[in-house]
C-alpha cells in the first residue's frame, strides 16, 4: 500500500501546473487511489511519501532530481534489507523515472548506460538516482550488495528485467536473484 502511495505521489507531482517554479511546492495536490503498480517492497513502503513528497529541484547542469526516487535509492544495500528488497527498490526507481519520462524506460542496455540515464544523462535531464551513490562504481555501474554489477535486460521500451549475480558473484548460476523468485 505504501509503495502504491509512493507511485501516486510521483504521479501527483508530474500532474501539477508546470508554470510553477521548481522550488515552489504544489498546493492542494492529492494522491490518486486508482493508481496501481506491479512492484511493491516492504523496505520502500517504510518511506512516508506524504511527508517526503516535494517537487523536483534543478541540480547541477540543469538536471531535474526526482526526490522520491532518490530517497528510494538510498535504501539500496541497507543492512536490514535483502537482495530481493534491493531489486524491488531498483524497479521502483526505474518506474519513477519511467512515469516522469512519458512511460519510457531509461535508454541503453548495459548497466552503465541505464545508470547514466537514471542519473540525468537523458533528453529531459531527469535524475532518478543520486550521482554519488555508494552503490555505483567508478565505471558508473550499479552494484548489488556483493559488489557485482546488476544485469539489466531491456525487454521492451516499458520493461526491464533485473538480475543480481548473487553471493557467488557469477551470473547465470543457481544463486542468481531476480524479482519475484521465492525459495532463495
Please write the tens of the pLDDT for every residue from 123-154.
Answer: 999 999 887 888 999 999 999 999 999 999 99
What are the phi and psi torsion angles at 108 (to 5°)? 115, 170
Residue 161 pairs with which residues in a beta bridge?
Answer: 153
Spatial separation of the C-alpha atoms in residues 72 and 62, rounded to whole Å: 22
CA–chain centroid gap for 123, Å, is: 18
Q: Confirm whether 173 is domain-assigned.
A: no
CB neighbour list of residue 59: distance below 8 Å, 6 or more residues apart: 65, 120, 127
Q: Confirm whether 170 is domain-assigned.
A: no
Q: Confirm whether 174 is domain-assigned.
A: no
Dig out the grid coordinates for 164 from the structure: 543480481
Dig out the grid coordinates for 87 from the structure: 531489486
pLDDT score of 162 more than 80: yes
CA–chain centroid gap for 168, Å, is: 25
Q: Confirm whether 180 is domain-assigned.
A: no
Q: Confirm whether 138 is domain-assigned.
A: yes
Residues 87-97, mean pLDDT to the nearest whole number: 92
Q: Confirm whether 178 is domain-assigned.
A: no
Spatial separation of the C-alpha atoms in residues 129 and 75, rounded to whole Å: 11
Spatial separation of the C-alpha atoms in residues 85 and 139, rounded to whole Å: 24
Parallel, antiparallel, or unpaired for β 126-127 and 64-65?
parallel
Domain limits at 141? 2-163
Q: Confirm whether 184 is domain-assigned.
A: no
pLDDT score of 62 more than 80: no
pLDDT at 58 (0 to 100):
53
> Per the structure, how many domains does the chain have?
1
Residues 22-47, mean pLDDT to the nearest whole number: 36
Residue 64 pairs with which residues in a beta bridge?
Answer: 58, 126
Q: Confirm whether 58 is domain-assigned.
A: yes
Q: Tell me the CA distances in angstroms from 69 to 31, 52, 112, 118, one per residue in order.
A: 17, 11, 18, 10
pLDDT at 179 (0 to 100):
86
Amino acid at each position: 500500500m505504501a509503495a502504491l502511495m509512493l507511485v501516486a505521489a510521483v504521479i501527483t507531482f508530474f500532474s501539477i501546473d508546470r508554470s510553477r517554479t521548481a522550488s515552489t511546492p504544489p498546493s492542494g495536490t492529492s494522491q490518486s487511489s486508482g493508481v496501481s503498480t506491479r512492484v511493491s517492497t516492504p523496505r520502500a513502503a517504510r518511506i512516508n511519501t506524504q511527508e517526503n513528497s516535494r517537487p523536483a529541484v534543478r541540480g547541477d547542469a540543469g538536471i531535474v532530481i526526482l526526490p522520491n526516487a532518490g530517497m528510494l535509492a538510498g535504501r539500496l544495500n541497507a543492512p536490514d534489507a535483502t537482495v530481493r528488497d534491493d531489486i524491488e527498490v531498483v524497479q521502483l526507481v526505474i518506474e519513477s523515472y519511467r512515469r516522469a519520462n512519458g512511460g519510457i524506460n531509461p535508454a541503453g542496455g548495459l548497466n552503465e548506460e541505464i545508470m547514466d540515464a537514471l542519473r540525468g544523462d537523458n533528453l529531459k535531464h531527469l535524475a532518478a538516482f543520486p550521482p554519488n551513490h555508494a552503490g555505483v562504481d567508478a565505471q558508473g555501474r550499479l552494484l548489488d550488495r556483493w559488489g557485482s554489477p546488476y544485469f539489466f535486460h531491456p525487454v521492451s521500451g516499458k520493461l526491464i528485467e533485473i538480475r543480481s549475480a548473487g553471493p557467488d558473484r557469477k551470473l547465470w548460476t543457481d544463486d542468481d536473484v531476480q524479482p519475484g523468485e521465492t525459495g532463495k
